[in-house]
Chain A
Amino acid sequence: MIWQIDFWLLVILIVAAVTALSLHDLLGAVAALAAYSFFVALLFAQMGAIDVAFVEATLGAGITGVLFIIALFLTKRRTED
């Protein structure tokens, strides 16, 4: 366990989460959410839970992003609030 890697992963995690919440362009928000999932996966891998990291990378950064993008494609891209 190397605390520098942990620290910077957590910092990027918080930045990605705040970005996903605050963007008005929903496609960018989905990308930020996928980045968040991917850094959670890196954090899991760094802690030694490779299987959980694999699930998080495939489900969180893969399928969730695809489904959100399909939902955006069927509705509209920008949010009003």
Chain B
Amino acid sequence: MKWFSALVMVLLLALMLYATSDLPDHADPQAPANTYVSPTYIENSVKDTHTPNVVTAILADYRGYDTLGETVVIFAAGLACALVLMKKAGEKEDR
């Protein structure tokens, strides 16, 4: 069984390496991601928001809705944790 899972792992590795050969190169200017929206953000972010860090401008301004969703997810996780684990008012401590 151990050898079988190792074989599956090697096959998956080969599959992923094969799939990687189709991806664009690292920092390729002709890649689709670098020709569509990236130039707009890079050219306009300083003019639009006076923020030199493009990542912050994209995260908090252009894609603010996305960041709002992320924060809501984190806060909901914390609330769920509190609801599941919080002790009731009269409950004794168990240790």
Binding site for B on A (CB under 8 A): 1, 47-48, 50-51
Contacts and interface: CB of A to CB of B under 8 A. Distances in A.
B55 A47 contact: no
A1 B55 contact: no
Contacts of B37: none
B83 interface: no
Main secondary structure of the interface of A (DSSP, over half): loop
Contacts of B55: 50-51
Interface in B1-49: 26-27
Contacts of A47: 26
Interface string B36-68: 000000000000000001011001000000000
9 contacts: A1-B26, A1-B27, A47-B26, A48-B27, A50-B55, A51-B53, A51-B55, A51-B56, A51-B59
Interface footprint category on B: under 10
Nearest to B55: A51
A-B complex: 6 closest residue pairs judged by Cβ atoms? A51-B55, A1-B26, A47-B26, A1-B27, A48-B27, A51-B56
A48 B26 CA distance: 11
